[in-house]
């Protein structure tokens, strides 16, 4: 049977090591997590029960870590968003008429360029989620764990959304802004609108469209979608439970 410390270390380290943090930084996260165990009233005697609160917490933390790690690895690389039909960031609904007009005029390459650069910006932002998601895992309480265990197939993903969305958005936005400038999102958008606008009567209420916020929101949607996929796989597929604690908790 796994001990609480080894399980928590596995869960937190899996995410923290993926970030750009120095060794001392992620070790502090691990140490903080271990110290916080006392607030749950966890002890060696409790751990040795049939399915103790500590085991439920450990199993759910490991499942969260696995889901987050899988999502970050899949999305935080070239091609993670771009060309990925599950999460690919498309033209904002508010300016789809511009894209449609551009394609009708034989200028579809401007639409493609715009969409590609948005997706590239999202790919650059996703790895920054590691430390924030690790902190969300660290803060999970017994009550959170029990609700997740008895919840829907995406209950853990909903927990992540609830406790980390604001922090992730704040962290992603400046990275997306930098990435959109580097990958040429704004320039691609201007090229697109310049091609289409003469045929739209010069009317464009979307001139103030916040592209950085749009890409940030879509990046988070994609991240949570992938976490939900991994969560469902762990819940429904015994072969996806790759450790003793996952097998024990989810078999229950």
> So what's the pLDDT on residue 79?
96
User: Which of 113-117, 135-139, 204-208, 211-215 has the least mean pLDDT?
Assistant: 204-208
Query: Sorting pLDDT into bands at 50, 70 and 90, what band is 11?
Result: very low
How many domains in the chain?
A: 1
> What angle (nearest 5°) sits at the alpha carbon of residue 6, between those of residues 5 and 10?
115
Higher pLDDT, 252 or 219: 219
- Beta carbons of 90 and 249 less than 8 angstroms apart: no
Higher pLDDT, 21 or 72: 72
Q: At what angle do helices 53-75 and 129-138 cross, to 10 degrees?
A: 170
By CB atoms closer than 10 A (0-12, 13-18, 19+), residue 39 is exposed
Range of the domain at 105: 4-251
Condensed to tens digits (0 to 9), the pLDDT of residues 39-71 reads 444 333 333 345 688 888 888 899 889 999 999
Mean pLDDT of the chain, nearest integer: 77
Count of residues making up the chain = 252
> What angle (nearest 5°) sits at the alpha carbon of residue 154, between those of residues 153 and 155?
100
> Within the chain, where are the H helices?
4-16, 23-36, 44-47, 53-75, 96-104, 108-125, 129-138, 142-149, 155-183, 185-196, 211-236, 244-251
Q: Give the single-character DSSP code of 82.
A: T
Non-local CB neighbours of 30 within 8 Å, separated by 6+ positions: 8, 9, 12, 13, 16
Distance CA 219, CA 5 (A): 33
Condensed to tens digits (0 to 9), the pLDDT of residues 168-184 reads 999 999 988 888 777 77
Condensed to tens digits (0 to 9), the pLDDT of residues 86-125 reads 999 998 888 888 888 888 888 888 888 889 989 999 999 9
Distance CA 117, CA 122 (A): 9
Tokens of residue 217, six digits: 């929101």
DSSP character string of 19-81: SS--HHHHHHHHHHHHHHGGGGT--HHHHTSTT-HHHHHHHHHHHHHHHHHHHHHHHSSTTSS
User: Which of 22-36, 114-128, 164-178, 231-245 has the least mean pLDDT?
Assistant: 22-36
pLDDT over 80 (residue 252): no
- Taking alpha carbons only, the member of 80, 62, 83 closest to residue 15 is 62
């Amino acid at each position: 049977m796994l001990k609480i410390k080894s399980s928590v270390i596995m869960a937190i380290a899996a995410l923290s090591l993926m970030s750009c943090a120095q060794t001392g930084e992620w070790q502090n996260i691990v140490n903080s997590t271990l110290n916080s165990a006392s607030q749950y009233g966890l002890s060696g005697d409790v751990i040795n029960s049939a399915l103790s609160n500590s085991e439920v917490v450990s199993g759910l933390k490991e499942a969260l870590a696995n889901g987050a790690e899988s999502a970050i690895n899949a999305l935080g690389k070239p091609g993670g968003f771009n060309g990925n039909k599950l999460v690919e960031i498309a033209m904002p609904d508010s300016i789809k008429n511009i894209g449609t007009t551009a394609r009708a005029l034989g200028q579809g390459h401007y639409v493609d360029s715009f969409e590609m650069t948005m997706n590239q910006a999202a790919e650059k932002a996703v790895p920054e989620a590691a430390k924030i998601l690790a902190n969300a895992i660290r803060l999970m309480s017994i009550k959170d764990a029990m609700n997740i265990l008895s919840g829907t197939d995406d209950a853990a993903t909903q927990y992540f959304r609830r406790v980390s969305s604001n922090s992730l958005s704040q962290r992603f936005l400046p990275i997306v802004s930098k990435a959109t400038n580097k990958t040429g999102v704004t320039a691609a958008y201007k090229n697109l609108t310049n091609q289409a606008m003469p045929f739209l009567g010069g009317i464009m209420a979307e001139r103030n469209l916040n592209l950085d916020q749009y890409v940030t929101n879509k990046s988070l949607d994609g991240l949570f979608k992938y976490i939900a996929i991994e969560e469902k796989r762990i819940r429904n597929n015994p072969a996806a439970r790759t450790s003793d604690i996952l097998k024990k908790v989810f078999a229950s």
